[in-house]
A and B are shown apart, each in its own frame.
Chain A
Amino acid sequence: RKEVEQDPGPFNVPEGATVAFNCTYSNSASQSFFWYRQDCRKEPKLLMSVYSSGNEDGRFTAQLNRASQYISLLIRDSKLSDSATYLCVVTRPGSARQLTFGSGTQLTVLP
């Protein structure tokens, strides 16, 4: 089983749609959680950290369920510029500095 698993995608949605991505992680001792976005052939950019209480940043909402080892990202009112690959990332237990990346979910927002 992979350490971090994501919806395989791709997701193709119209502008203005709401889209949700899910991610599960295998090790219950993981401590920190993030969503990054990566545009084609570019570096990953930190979208948001995910906190136990859930957090929101504009159109983006992240949720963490430690009991189910599940992380989600909700994007409301999708924009064309949201088209990217979204990476679910967790820190490896015992090595808080080492990030483990999911394989990513590709999102295309259509006009």
Chain B
Amino acid sequence: EAGVTQSPTHLIKTRGQQATLRCSPISGHTSVYWYQQALGLGLQFLLWYDEGEERNRGNFPPRFSGRQFPNYSSELNVNALELEDSALYLCASSLVAQYHNEQFFGPGTRLTVL
């Protein structure tokens, strides 16, 4: 069974630009989560999508946004990039029906803002 996939693997942008990151969940999973892991810091929850709707967001500014498509894949958009947005962005997916909500992560997109 294929795991969570993310693209691109690496992304280099300059300040003020926009970045778009993509994620495909495990087949059958309807929930997609986005996390940010800045260098030397822990994983911070960004966004949760389920059935095409944004269900929850973490403590990030509105320039972090995203969407979920009918096939449950998801896109994270970061507008007006700042240097501190440089981080590993991880996508995870889970089965909504599962009580313990085990989340499985993709390999991440490493975003570098110059």
CB pairs A–B below 8 angstroms (29 shown): A32-B99, A32-B100, A42-B107, A42-B108, A43-B106, A43-B107, A43-B108, A44-B43, A44-B90, A44-B105, A46-B102, A46-B104, A49-B100, A49-B102, A87-B43, A91-B101, A96-B101, A97-B55, A97-B56, A97-B101, A98-B45, A98-B48, A99-B43, A99-B45, A99-B101, A99-B103, A101-B42, A101-B43, A104-B42
Give CA–CA (A34, B43) in the complex, Å.
14
Q: Most chain-A Cβ atoms within 10 A of its Cβ — which of B58, B101, B104?
A: B101
Residue B24 lies at the interface, judged by CB distance under 8 Å to chain A: no
- The 0/1 profile, CB within 8 Å of A marked 1, for residues 67-108 of chain B is 000000000000000000000101000100001111111111
Across the interface, which residues of B come within 8 angstroms of A49, CB to CB? 100, 102
Interface residues on B, range: 20 to 34
Q: Which of A32, A45, A87 contacts B101 (CB 8 A)?
A: A32
Q: Is the interface of B mostly helix, strand, loop or mixed?
A: strand
Q: Tell me the nearest residue of chain A to B31, going by C-beta.
A: A97
- The 0/1 profile, CB within 8 Å of B marked 1, for residues 31-75 of chain A is 010100000011111100100000000000000000000000000
Interface size on A, residues (CB 8 A): 21
